[in-house]
Amino acid sequence: MSEKYLVIDTRPYGLFSIFLHTIDCLKWCEENSYTPIVRWASGRIDINRNRQGADIASSMGDPKYVVDKENFSNIEKTSNNTKPCLYADNESDNVWEYYFEPINQIKFDDIKNLNHQISDIFMCGQLDFDLSNKFLIRNIHSYDKLKIWEINDTIKQLEHRKQVYELINKYVIVKDYILKKTESFYESRMKNKDLLIGVHIRGTDKKTEFPFKQLTIDNYIDKIQQILSLNNNKKYKIYVASDNNEAIVKIATVFGKENICAYPSARMPNFYGNIPICLNNEINKRKHGEETLIEMLLLSKCDTIIGTDSNLTAAAAYFNPNSELCYLDRLIGINS
């Protein structure tokens, strides 16, 4: 076996949950001399169910211990609890290549039948919650807690964000058509301001993250006003990225339509709700993924980023490690 390949697959969750997990996998590949193949197709919900050797692979941190070589997602295997990527037009599509250039020229079909062990990253990674031996995600299996959410020291957080940015800069090339749409909006609506405040208001099912207090739209408004009070006489613009229209309307009402902007995207109507936009079957999922990526890129261009424990907020912070980052739920505190 001259090459070791790691197929970085996906699971049926939001775009930046998948994206940040992929970045974690790319880091793992570098550290373990695996060649990565990014394949955002159907993915498992429970990554270890019915997989021989998966637990050993997890504890040893190496996919070679997986006995079941038939470990690629197969939607026909209901026992393997797979679901398509939320953003796919077709179940067989590689959704990564909707939005990003391939990270290399190796195709999944070219390597899947080779006589060597091919495993996806969901079968490896450590089960403990020790942040010191994690790059992005504290527990690869559960997607539980990004490292950035728990680094309170400003200097250490900046160092971490720069490390992640270097990896993103090395592997991630956004499709040109998406960059053009992003730059066009930025040039027409955000450029030539002394201060760009980006606020990501994630409502619906993620309006709160246990054990933190449930946020209101007014909490975001108060933080914006605090920032503006410290930057008197500066020409500013507030860029609002949100999964719901209610938040955008309220921000515009308080600060004036001329002082805010929001990229035209599919959204849920209300801040409170149990169904996130990515699970709304009435939207074009592929287009929604494109809009979500553009919103993240625009958020990353801001001087200050206000958000919650959301993967989109984290991705924007990684794309621009020099921005000021404010996790509002953590700032407000724990709900006792």
Cα separations in angstroms, 117 against 4, 63, 235? 8, 8, 57
Residues 137, 202, single domain; the answer is no
Which residue has better confidence, 321 or 272? 321
Residues 199, 144, single domain; the answer is no
Asked if 36 contacts 8 with a C-beta cutoff of 8 angstroms, the reply is: yes
Using omega within 30 degrees of 0 as the cis cutoff, is the peptide bond preceding 321 cis?
Answer: no
Residues 127, 226, single domain; the answer is no
Give the model confidence (pLDDT) of 247-294 as tens digits.
Answer: 999 999 999 999 999 999 999 888 888 788 888 888 899 999 999 999
Closest to 122 in 3D by CA, of 210, 17, 1? 17
Asked if 25 contacts 121 with a C-beta cutoff of 8 angstroms, the reply is: yes
Residues 74, 205, single domain; the answer is no
Residues 205, 323, single domain; the answer is yes
Q: At 74, list the tokens.
A: 């197969």
Q: Does 326 score more than 50 pLDDT? A: yes
Asked if 328 contacts 214 with a C-beta cutoff of 8 angstroms, the reply is: no
What CATH number did the domain enclosing 292 receive?
3.40.50.11350
Domain count, the chain: 2
The alpha carbon torsion through 10, 14, 15, 16 (nearest 10 deg) reads -100
Across 11-20, 61-70, 240-249, least confident range: 61-70
Q: Does 75 score more than 60 pLDDT? A: no
Residues 113, 221, single domain; the answer is no
Structural domain includes residue 168: no
**Cα–Cα dist 327/203, whole Å:** 14
Residues 249, 316, single domain; the answer is yes
Q: Is the pTM of this model over 0.95?
A: no
Q: Does 130 score more than 80 pLDDT? A: no
